């Protein structure tokens, strides 16, 4: 017996190798048997908890990577959406003005506002068009919605626009459909007052205000605003109308300079 132990001890490694080879061949050739399949399933069930942390870690790494990719794509889409929104707004403004131009046969020179700090009270602004673009003093200036002012000075590549909000700005206008004429001046908050209107005139709230034929520098029928209130003075034969501008002076960024057709 002791002799067998000595032999086993001397050849222990060889016996282990042979046993492993035998078991390996046994598993290979009996891979599809029911016993082997059950053994595999039982082994997986037994040791599955060992793989759980690694699977969880892989899933977290995949989710983090996926989240990073999705966040990047979302940022790109947001930026593209903002650009498209800007282009959409510009397209709407230009379409409105093209329709207006087609109807009234005027020529318009597009301009961007480059400074709103020419005057502390926002009575004038600076645009990126000047003498090189044939911009002249007293040229009317509009947004796509209506009149906002006129050119009062020019340089080679810029021009200063006197806005309706200037206390010295006056504009001859008419109220349609009655075509009664008066003089417009600024009050505040995009509200103007139209004075020297005859009491016998038929004016209603919501009536449209346009430039009149009496204006020296402004072509007739340019949109200005709409009537929001009507006042009558007991000691006068005239009435006073308050009008709201179509254009918001605090948000203007793009303008159009009205020029005679032979100037373009």
Q: What's the pLDDT score for residue 33?
A: 59
Predicted model pTM = 0.60
25-61: per-residue pLDDT in tens?
565 555 555 655 556 555 545 555 555 565 566 666 6
Contact 207, 177 (CB under 8 A): yes
The pLDDT tens digits of the residues spanning 166-191 come to: 989 999 999 988 888 999 999 988 89
pLDDT at 64: 66
Q: What is the pLDDT of residue 203?
A: 85
Q: Could you tell me which residues come within 8 angstroms of residue 247 by beta carbon, excluding any fewer than 6 positions away?
A: 142, 143, 145, 146, 147, 148, 190
Q: What is the pLDDT of residues 119-155, one digit of tens each?
A: 545 788 999 999 999 999 999 999 888 899 999 999 9
Element (H, E) at 232: strand 223-232
Q: pLDDT band for position 234 (50/70/90)? A: low
């Amino acid at each position: 017996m002791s002799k067998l132990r000595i032999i086993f001890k001397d050849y222990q490694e060889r016996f282990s190798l042979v046993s492993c080879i035998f078991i390996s061949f046994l598993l290979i050739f009996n891979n599809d048997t029911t016993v082997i399949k059950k053994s595999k399933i039982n082994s997986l069930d037994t040791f599955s908890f060992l793989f759980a942390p690694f699977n969880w870690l892989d899933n977290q790494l995949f989710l983090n990577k996926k989240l990073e990719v999705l966040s990047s794509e979302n940022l790109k889409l947001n930026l593209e959406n903002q650009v498209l929104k800007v282009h959409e707004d510009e397209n709407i403004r230009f379409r409105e003005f093209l329709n207006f131009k087609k109807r009234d046969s005027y020529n318009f020179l597009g301009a961007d506002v480059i400074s709103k700090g020419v005057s502390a009270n926002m009575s004038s602004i600076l645009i990126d068009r000047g003498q090189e673009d044939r911009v002249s003093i007293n040229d009317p200036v509009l947004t796509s919605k209506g009149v906002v002012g006129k050119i009062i000075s020019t340089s080679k590549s810029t021009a200063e626009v006197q806005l309706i909000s200037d206390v010295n700005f006056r504009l001859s206008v008419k109220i349609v459909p009655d075509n009664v004429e008066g003089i417009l001046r600024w009050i505040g908050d995009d509200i103007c007052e139209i004075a020297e209107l005859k009491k016998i005139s038929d004016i209603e709230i919501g009536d449209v205000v346009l430039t009149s034929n009496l204006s020296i520098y402004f072509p007739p029928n340019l949109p200005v605003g709409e009537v929001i209130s009507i006042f009558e003075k007991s000691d006068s034969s005239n009435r006073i109308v308050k009008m709201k501008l179509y254009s918001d002076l605090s948000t203007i960024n793009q303008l159009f300079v009205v020029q005679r057709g032979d100037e373009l």
